[in-house]
């Protein structure tokens, strides 16, 4: 028996052989996230006359396993903006905590001007959605430049400095763009064409009512549930207007019709 302190708790050399210390090397290559692990699928959003509607389902998948079914992927910011996350859920949590910290610091900065008398959610000088999107795009680009990207595609909705509805996206490479309607992941293929039928241009979007926009988004969520195998029929929907963010986190897809599925041949147990 080896009684030297440095041998305490270690496998005995005489039984297991000498430990291969090369496993303990610390000077290997730097590694970072190579791929996402637990993921959320599409986030979709469309602008309307006085705001933006955004939706995402409540699923976090582990590969193809529907692992978590009550995941909230729409996050309000300062009750004036909403951020929707697609992609890696742990990176989303990191960003959520970071934004929470940012929001608390923002409140410190502006408490002298923020009066509780005006109930307007967009207090002068506070970070609006356009500022928040710019901030997130810098953060995401910085992280991809460090070869350690945050594996998300993010939609930011709210209002810009001119109090116009604002909607923009940023992805894990720091790529940004904006459009009257936006969708991440599978939604970019399946939901975006539907939304463009209603809001191809800013003018079209400015003519949409809130009810129309909500209906379009709900229809898109249904199409996504039909065709995206990593999706769920429970979802969250948020409406951002000048009055603030209305977020509903436990919606159920209604009026589903799977009649079309009868005609699909060539998958699963069906015989062509």
Catalytic positions, written as ranges: 33
Give the shortest CB-9-to-another protein separation in angstroms: 29
Considering only 33, 68, 178, 215, the residue that binds another protein (CB under 8 A) is 68
By the rule CB under 8 A, 230 interacts with another protein: no
Residue 89 in contact with another protein, rule: CB under 8 A? yes
Strand partners, 84: 74, 155
The span of 67-75, 150-158, 160-168, 252-260 binding another protein (CB under 8 A) equals 67-75
Distances (CA, A) of 21 to 1, 15, 173, 197: 21, 17, 38, 63
Q: Is 194 in the site for another protein (CB under 8 A)?
A: no
- 96 part of the interface to another protein, by CB under 8 A: yes
94 binds another protein (CB under 8 A): yes
Contact between 62 and another protein per CB under 8 A: no
Q: Is 107 in the site for another protein (CB under 8 A)?
A: yes
Please state at what angle helix 129-145 crosses helix 89-110, rounded to 10 degrees.
130
C-alpha to C-alpha distances, 27 to 24, 31, 33, 271, nearest whole angstrom: 9, 11, 18, 56
- CA atoms of 53 and 247, how far apart (whole Å): 10
Residue reference for tokens 């969250």: 236
Provide, rounded to whole angstroms, the least separation between the CB of residue 86 and another protein: 13
Determine the interface stretch with another protein among 21-29, 42-50, 110-118, 226-234 (rule: CB under 8 A): 110-118
Strand-pairing partners, residue 157, are 82, 167
DSSP 9: T
How many whole angstroms separate alpha carbon 59 and alpha carbon 76? 18
Number of residues that bind another protein (CB under 8 A): 22
- Shorter beta-carbon distance to another protein: residue 96 or 202: 96
Residues 161, 202: Cα–Cα separation, whole Å: 17
* Binding positions for another protein, rule: CB under 8 A: 60, 68, 70-73, 89, 92-94, 96-97, 100-101, 104, 107-108, 111-112, 115-117
């Amino acid at each position: 028996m080896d009684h030297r302190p440095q041998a305490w708790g270690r496998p005995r050399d005489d039984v297991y052989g000498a430990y291969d210390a090369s496993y303990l090397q610390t000077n290997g290559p730097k590694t970072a996230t190579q791929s996402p692990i637990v993921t959320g699928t599409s986030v979709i959003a469309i602008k309307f006359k006085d705001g933006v509607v955004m939706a995402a389902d409540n699923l976090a998948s582990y590969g193809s396993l529907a692992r978590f079914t009550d995941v909230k992927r729409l996050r309000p910011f300062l009750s004036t903006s909403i951020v929707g996350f697609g992609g890696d859920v742990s990176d989303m949590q990191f960003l959520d905590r970071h934004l929470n910290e940012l929001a608390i610091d923002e409140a410190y900065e502006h408490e002298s001007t923020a009066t509780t008398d005006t109930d307007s959610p967009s207090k002068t000088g506070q970070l609006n959605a356009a500022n928040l999107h710019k901030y997130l795009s810098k953060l995401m680009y910085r992280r991809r430049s460090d070869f350690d990207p945050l594996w998300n595609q993010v939609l930011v909705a709210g209002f810009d400095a001119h109090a116009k509805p604002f909607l923009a996206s940023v992805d894990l490479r720091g790529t940004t763009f904006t459009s009257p309607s936006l969708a991440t992941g599978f939604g970019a293929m399946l939901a975006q064409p539907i939304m463009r039928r209603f809001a191809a241009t800013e003018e079209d979007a400015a003519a949409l009512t809130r009810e129309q926009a909500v209906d379009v988004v709900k229809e898109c969520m249904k199409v996504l549930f039909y065709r995206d195998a990593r999706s769920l029929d429970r979802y969250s929907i948020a409406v951002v207007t000048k009055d603030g963010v209305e977020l509903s986190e436990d919606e159920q897809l209604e009026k589903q019709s799977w009649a079309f599925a009868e005609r699909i041949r060539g998958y699963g147990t069906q015989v062509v």
